[in-house]
């Protein structure tokens, strides 16, 4: 038996209205794409220097943000370059103006550069508040001798209210 046009239209309409709903993935993907771009753009503003608990940095009101470059850490018993131990403090002689293990590591890292800028390479020294000044001066002199002439000392920023 043949049904009328009106009966077929009602049947199509009924079938459309009682079909199970589906999940629209296009709009969901758009939302996640926007979220990823938002997080990528805003995460680049944060600069966090790697610090260990045994290097209590001096407090400062410095306005300049930390730059990401080579980091030399002076801990309680060793000197680290990018987390790798290069010299022990017990082995450093008082008469030497340079630290040999640090000098070798800086030379190796300097030789990886194709061209050294005229103002020298950048280095950040992280030393605790109680670090001996003579030791700090030797570390800085070793860096300068190895053409790391843009020396920065890492400090902990003070939080000011108001």
CA 49 to chain centre: 6
Closest C-alpha to 56, from 124, 123, 126, 125? 126
Q: Return the exposure string of 18-44: e unless at least 16 CB atoms fall within 10 Å of the residue's CB, then b.
A: eeeeeeeeeeeeeeeeeeeeeeeeeee
Assigned token pair, 67: 């730059």
pLDDT confidence of 98, banded at 50, 70, 90? confident
User: Is residue 125 classed as helix, strand or coil in its secondary structure?
Assistant: strand
Apex 73 CA angle, 72 and 75, nearest 5: 155
CA 162 to chain centre: 28
Residue-wise pLDDT for 53-75, tens only, equals: 566 666 666 666 666 788 888 88
Q: Which residue has the higher pLDDT, 13 or 160?
A: 13
Q: Which residue has the higher pLDDT, 45 or 3?
A: 3
Residue-wise pLDDT for 17-37, tens only, equals: 777 767 777 888 888 999 998
């Amino acid at each position: 038996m043949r049904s009328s046009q009106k009966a077929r239209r009602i049947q199509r309409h009924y079938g459309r209205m009682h079909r199970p709903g589906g999940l629209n993935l296009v709009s969901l993907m758009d939302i996640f794409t926007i979220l990823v771009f938002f997080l990528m753009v805003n995460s680049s503003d944060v600069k966090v220097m790697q610090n260990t608990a045994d290097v209590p940095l001096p407090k400062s009101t410095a306005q300049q943000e930390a730059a990401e470059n080579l980091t030399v850490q002076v801990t309680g018993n060793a000197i680290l370059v990018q987390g790798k131990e290069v010299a022990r403090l017990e082995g450093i002689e008082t008469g030497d103006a340079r630290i040999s293990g640090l000098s070798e590591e800086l030379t190796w890292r300097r030789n990886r550069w194709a061209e050294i800028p005229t103002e020298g390479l950048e280095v950040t020294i992280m030393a605790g508040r109680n670090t001996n000044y003579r030791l700090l001066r030797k570390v800085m002199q070793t860096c300068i001798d190895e053409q790391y002439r843009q020396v920065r000392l890492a400090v902990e920023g003070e939080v000011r209210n108001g």
